[in-house]
Amino acid sequence: MLISLTVRNLAVVEDLALTFEPGMTSLTGETGAGKSMLVDALSLVLGDRADSNMIRHGAERAEIEADFNLDNNTTLAKWLQENELDEDEQCHLRRTISRDGRSKGYINGRAVPLALLKEVSERSIDIHGQHAHQSLIRPQTQREILDIVADNKALLNNLKTAYRDWSASQQELELLQSQAEEQKAKQELLQYQVSELESFQLTQTHIQDLLQQQSQLANASQLISVAEAGLHRIFDEEQAAAYDIINHTLSELEKLQDLEPRFASAVETLNAAIINLDETANDLRHYLDHIDLDPARLNAIEDELSQLHDIARKHHVEVEQLPALYEELSTELERLSNSEVHLAELQKVLSNKEANCLALSREIHEKRVKTAKPLAKQISASIKQLAIPSGEIDIEVVANSDEKFSEHGMDSVRILVRTNPGQPSGELAKVASGGELARISLAIQVVTAGKRTVPTLIFDEVDVGIGGSVAEVVGQHLRKLATTQQVICITHLPQVAAQAHHQLQVNKKHLDDSTHIVVDKLDRQQRIEEIARMLGGVNLTQKTRSHAEEMLDQAQQ
């Protein structure tokens, strides 16, 4: 339930604080006094789009606050808890609008995105604007009205989630199917390329060995010549062999190291050199004994390398990059080979998701059909009381013949009306006049309001275009609603205002060259005066006041 509304520097409102009570409250005042401005303020604090032009002249920021009682609103209390916005069993909303265009929202003192304010709105309040009947001719609105009464919200939320999931899988499947031919050609090419590469031993080690062997065999004569020359210089050269020269020097130093101890280091180094020369000579002999000079082997290696170079050029890579290319092509081929399996799996998943959406759509359809006739009967009874004595409402629910579904189900929902005896039922836009449409809309709002889970209902001049006994009936309907929900009604009709449990009067005052809105809570005598004004205009008579008092007394019975 709405407890309070505070508005600062919004349009002509400078500083206004209102409190609200259970039951029905009417807001009345002269035309143009600013009654609807309070609804605008409430819409803003509940997340509606803001404009810096709304800020009062001379102020830098507008601010709106609203408090809601959570005692009978477990839905909102649970939502606040789930979003970690709960605070001592209260719901305090605050919205600021700055001159620079920035807008901020707060829930229980915590800054939140405006989308969260809208979520509070969905769980706390319904606002029926004075032009609500204009949207009634839309199929979407007619379907939503039926779903509210059928209590389809949870099912529709589940269907919305399931439908989006199904739609995403459907798009994925269509993409895979459209790519199937292209992938088939690509798969055939990859299969050929991989098979071609598989005929080679494509490892990094093998290719490096081939390149090394080819280089060695191609330069074998030079390698042998250098090895033989080296061995000759170390051992075989007369009088100039390195081994003999070093060994002779070592022998002479060893003879004299007793006389010169400092020769010991040189002796040690030369001993090591002798050992190293001996090992080097053995390595060169082993190399010369085992070097392969087989021309056939060289031809085979060069032939294999030639093929590898050819295939590398075909793929625009170096020979050394062929192993990595083979791995890449093999992986892609495996992926494409598995795409057919993935396609079959996706078709199975999609079929299950479609079955889920169909099951939800059928359940929603059944509830709509079950609800349509009783709801039409209720609305028909209500519009008869609203000066359409021959009015009859039918609600048509037709499932698509092919069970094609959307996130809203698989039904076409139409509200049909007959306003005169003997006429067939027809679409609202074609059969009902503007005035009749307004009254039908009001009847629907009154009938369905009790089915809504929100604790507060606001009616903003929805009674435009009616009067007399019809207006009294409207007031009675709203008062009856107020036994289960808080009803706030902005009205210009005395018959409606008199039915309220509480009455607030909105006045526009001009002070110091500026305009201010003042809202007063009226006691009984003040209500009589206000209702008399609404009945009789400027010059009030005792008879008008007596009539106003009688209306108040009758409403309280």
**β pairing state of 90-98 and 61-69:** antiparallel
pLDDT at 178 over 80: no
Sign of CA dihedral 302, 305, 311, 317: negative
- Please state, rounded to an integer, the average pLDDT across all residues of the chain: 84
| Residue 110: strand pairing partners | 107
Residue 292: its pLDDT value, please?
64
pLDDT > 90 in the chain, percent: 33
Domains of the chain by start residue, with CATH: 1-124+499-557 (3.40.50.300), 184-336 (no CATH)
In 68-219, which residue ranges form alpha helices assigned H by DSSP?
74-82, 114-122, 132-135, 139-150, 153-198, 204-218
Secondary structure (3-state) at 537: coil
Residue 198: its pLDDT value, please?
74
Residue 27: its pLDDT value, please?
93
Cβ(545)–Cβ(532) below 8 Å: yes
Strand order in the sheet with 502-511: 125-128, 456-460, 486-490, 24-28, 502-511, 514-521
Cβ(444)–Cβ(383) below 8 Å: no
Burial degree of 178 (CB within 10 A; 0-12, 13-18, 19+): exposed
Look at 428 and 159; give whichever has higher pLDDT. Answer: 159
In this structure, of 160-174, 286-300, 459-473, 489-503, the range with the lowest mean pLDDT score is 286-300
pLDDT at 220 over 70: no
pLDDT at 130 over 90: no
pLDDT at 305 over 80: no
Q: Tell me the average pLDDT across 407-419.
A: 93
Reported confidence tier of residue 507, pLDDT bands at 50, 70, 90: confident
pLDDT in tens, 440-476: 888 887 888 767 778 888 888 777 767 778 888 888 8
What does the H/E/C string look like for 148-175? Answer: HHHCCHHHHHHHHHHHHHHHHHHHHHHH
Residue with structure tokens 């079929």? 351
DSSP 77: H
Look at 517 and 398; give whichever has higher pLDDT. Answer: 398
CB burial string 320-349: b at 16+ within 10 A, e below? eebbebbeebeeebeebeebeeebeebeee
Residue 294: its pLDDT value, please?
61
Q: Which residues contact 102 (CB under 8 A, 6 or more apart)?
A: none
pTM reported for the whole predicted model: 0.64
pLDDT > 70 in the chain, percent: 86
Residue 471: its pLDDT value, please?
84
Distances (CA, A) of 167 to 151, 163, 447: 25, 6, 36
